[in-house]
Chains A and B, each alone.
Chain A
Amino acid sequence: MEGQQERYKPTISRRQFLTAAGGITFVVAAGAFAPKIFAEESRNVPGEDKQITAWVRLQEDGRIVIYNPAAEMGQGSMTALAVIIAEEMDADWANVHIEFSPIEPSTYGLQWGGKLGGPMITVGSRTVRGYYHALRHAGAQARYVLLHNAAEKWGAPITELTTGPGKVVHKAGGRQMSFGEIAAFAKAPAELPEIPEAQWKKPEDFRLIGSVIPRFDIPAKVDGSALFSMDIEVPGMVYGAISRSPVNGSQPELLNEEDIREMEGVIDIVRLDHGIGAIAETFEQALKAKEKLQVSWSKGAQAEGYDSVKAYALYSKTAHDDAAEGEIVERTGDTRQALKSAHKTYDIEYKTDFAYHAQMEPLNAVVSVAADGKSAEAWVGSQAPDTARRAIAEVLNIDFDAVKLHPCYLGGGFGRRSMADYVEEATILSNQVRRPVKLIWTREDDVQYGAFRPIFLQRMQAATDEKGNITAWGHCIAGTGGGLLDSGARINYYTIPNQLIEVRSVDHGVRTKHWRSVAHAPNKYAIEAFLDEVALDQGIGPYELRRRLMKDHPRELKVLDEAARLANWGSPEKEGRARGMAFCERSGSLAAAVVEISLGRDSGQIRVHHVWAALDAGVVVQPDNAIAQMEGGIVMGISNVLYESITFRNGKVRQSNFHDYPILRMADAPESIEIRLIPSQEAPQGIGEASIPLMGGAIANAFLKLTGKPLRHMPFTAEKVLEVLKG
């Protein structure tokens, strides 16, 4: 890891301070001002670098710069993508350095229909699976350029040349040349040839893919030098804060503009459709101005009067209207008929409250609109940087090319940063003052103007025959959130002849958005908890029931079996403890988990002690990072399942910070998490969201085993658990 990231050495002394006029008195001397996204950028000396393909730049000192087109929000794909290219070009990993690619989707966008050029968007665990094939090819092309250059230099036929880690070898001529030496004279061909897949590395020859490689971004994340957009400083920058609609859709009228303008440091006030922005010399001054704003909000917004607790009654009624039919997700056989003629039927509702992303870095962006308004530069942590770039251009009514966007590290994304609302706001503020503006959302802003994982009510129905086999399956999803409600509802891996899965969404005008694994967490919870309730009533073990349902799906069954084996399923439970299991697919990955819980009978507090999980994600590029993603998803999943709830009353979000939207703390983390990656040569699949959807079902199922009582409403807060125990 040595030398990967230059350590940021603060050298503050009094002589380096300059006196400015008012506001903050001291600023660090010039030089520290130049915003650098990575320490690397400063070391790239123009003229000495050789761009050999769109993805690879060589430096004469042997450094190989590989471009990363994806957001780095903690999921680690920044390193994984470079590993794929480095593998195929046969680079020595010690020489690899990673930079963000330009925000040019035509070159760096995801494989969309098999070819690069889709959007640059880091969502849905798409990155490794969405670039794997294309970047292997890109790596093979970079290798070709190196071979071609060496062949010309030596006057040797290219077919006699091979590569070893970081060098081209000509065995017949008894010579070799490092990639760094080639960099000195390398020329990129006008057109790159297609390299047929048969000429790519054979998986058994992989040196990098599948081995444990430390993440490139980690050294900078332990010494404080990693730059998030929150940390960007540009000359002349001022700060913005916005007071936003408490009820989505209501519009502001500012009642005390003159008073605000007189406040110390205030530069300008900006009216937006959904709020009032204050721009000031310092962030604390902008915050003070925001707090003093007296705003009258317009009446009549659609969300007004929305009460998310009471809304469940409406969703229940919606899901029980047998004369209606929603958007069909899956229809096989005739579920309604099968339910009528069944030996036994089940009909149970499960609920899941709205959830907030709670990424640790609140939303923020730095945007600098030029004095003439015809161009802009921005520093943004975004899951969709091309969308952000386009959003800036649209706000300013300028060309996409007139916007330069510098991607920064993301202090968490989880779906929230795939929206560009905060980037648009910063653009509007900067456009007003034609100066660089850093817009910062407070935590309260981030919660209260959140865009939440929707609220769900799932009506689950099943029919069984005399032997307890499930013959029909009904899953009606009601809630608000439209297209955000259906993911994960399909159960192709369970053989049930009659299936009817549908969505009935009611629009309330509140803000909803993708949240890590989208609808998978609520839907898999309902599916897996319902299965255990049926199994208990039928006197069949939960593992046995799933094994029966998976009889036609050996790949899925293997994952389930592996999780059961890890957890020593079937061994006696410890005193006061019980285990529960769940299975899910997400983004092509197959995952299963067993959790062991205990319960504070007086407190109502569920405690998860151990988690065992198995994952089949095809080829895993970075195994340790895959394990880290599984661990992180499990912890975030437990947090969501036990604690997290956003509620609305009179159209307003009732929570505001971590005191009333608690997320899991270290003391409540499991004592151990054991992950098993199942070896596979299949295409890589998405990992970042694979474990989240398992936790609701697994915990509810362990609780059912421990107490005989079902948990039918997420989150399973202590209050709700006590109610269930009493009931």
Chain B
Amino acid sequence: MKTSFTLNGKEVQVETAADATLLWTLRDALKMTGTKYSCGASLCGACTVHLDGMPVRACMTPISMAAGRAVTTIEGLAEEELHPLQQAWIDEQVPQCGYCQPGQIMQAAALLRNNPQPKREEIVSYMNGVLCRCGTYLRIIKAIERASQSR
């Protein structure tokens, strides 16, 4: 099955099995390995990408759902400069192992797009679906607050 969509601002067409997921299509067919596989069941959020600006779990998103739409991954979050969240993630020294962080940042970017100055409770509630085993949650909150204040 051929599927066309916009990936990080560029038109792409990809041929996959009809039931392929967006996650493995991104990672293996399109070489966008910043989006991570971790649970395969929408339980951890490591694979979070934007579909028309909305955060989705790529592991449970059929590739057919991407047809004609805009997909943004961590690689396409910012053009030249870093996204304010990425800079804040560096400033707060958030990542440890780093594996969940693309998903964390994509989820946070969707939050700030809709709510540029979120309260702490709003951050926690919006970010709650993305797991971090290294325990970086408090630094993630600080980084989101820093990025929202820098705007």
Contact = CB atoms under 8 A, between A and B. Distances in A.
A24 interface: yes
Contact of B96 (A24, A74, A444, A659): A74
Contact of B86 (A222, A625, A635, A670): A222
A75 B37 contact: no
B33 interface: yes
B112 to A, nearest CB: 15
Contact of B21 (A13, A284, A639, A659): A284
Contacts of A634: 135
Given A28-B31, A32-B31, A231-B33, A636 B90 contact: no
A631 interface: yes
Contacts of B96: 74-76, 628-629, 632
A25 B14 contact: yes
Interface in B117-148: 124-125, 127-141
Interface string B67-108: 000000111111000100010011001111111111001000
B75 A666 contact: no
Given A411-B99, A636-B133, A284 B20 contact: yes
Contacts of A658: 39, 41, 43-44, 131
Nearest to A225: B34
A625 B93 contact: yes
B10 interface: yes
Contacts of B7: 12
A231 B101 CA distance: 15
A443 B39 contact: yes
Contacts of B78: 223
A553 B86 CA distance: 45
B8 A663 contact: no
A26 B29 contact: yes
Contacts of A607: none
A282 interface: yes
How big is chain A's contact interface, by range?
Answer: 35 or more
Contact of A412 (B12, B41, B89, B99): B99
A339 interface: no
A226 interface: yes
Given A411-B36, A665-B131, A673 B138 contact: yes
B99 A631 contact: no
A102 B28 CA distance: 28
B40 to A, nearest CB: 6
A410 to B, nearest CB: 6
A285 B76 CA distance: 28
A536 to B, nearest CB: 30
A691 to B, nearest CB: 10
Nearest to B33: A231
Contact of B33 (A74, A227, A624): A227
A283 interface: yes
B24 A443 contact: no
A12 B30 contact: yes
A224 B77 CA distance: 10
A14 B128 contact: no
Contact of B133 (A10, A239, A360, A631): A360
Contacts of A217: 95, 98
Contacts of A413: 97
Interface string A617-636: 00000001100110111111
Given A24-B16, A32-B31, A443-B39, A284 B24 contact: yes
B93 A412 contact: no
Contacts of A233: 28, 31, 33
Given A10-B75, A25-B14, A632-B136, A223 B44 contact: no
Interface string A205-227: 00000000011011111111111
Interface string A1-40: 1000000111011100100000011111000100000000
Nearest to A361: B99
Contacts of A283: 24, 28
A411 B98 contact: yes
Contacts of A410: 97
Nearest to B103: A360
A377 interface: no
Contacts of B24: 282-284
B128 A362 contact: no
A214 B93 contact: yes
Interface in B26-69: 27-41, 43-44, 46
A222 B90 contact: yes
B38 A443 contact: yes
A445 B19 CA distance: 22
A406 B140 CA distance: 31
A675 to B, nearest CB: 11
B11 A215 contact: no
Contact of A659 (B14, B43, B90, B102): B43
Contacts of B34: 8, 223-225
Contact of A24 (B13, B28, B41, B130): B28
Given A25-B14, A361-B97, 17 more contacts: A24-B14, A74-B97, A218-B94, A222-B89, A224-B32, A233-B31, A358-B133, A359-B133, A360-B46, A360-B100, A411-B38, A440-B37, A443-B41, A624-B93, A625-B93, A666-B128, A669-B135
22 contacts: A26-B15, A26-B29, A28-B30, A214-B93, A218-B90, A222-B101, A223-B86, A224-B33, A224-B35, A224-B75, A233-B28, A284-B20, A359-B99, A412-B99, A443-B40, A631-B135, A635-B136, A657-B41, A663-B131, A666-B127, A666-B137, A669-B138
Interface of A: 1, 8-10, 12-14, 17, 24-28, 32, 73-76, 214-215, 217-228, 230-231, 233, 239, 264, 282-285, 358-362, 409-414, 440, 442-444, 624-625, 628-629, 631-636, 639, 657-659, 663-667, 669-670, 672-673
Interface of B: 2, 7-8, 10-17, 20-21, 24, 27-41, 43-44, 46, 73-78, 82, 86, 89-90, 93-102, 105, 124-125, 127-141
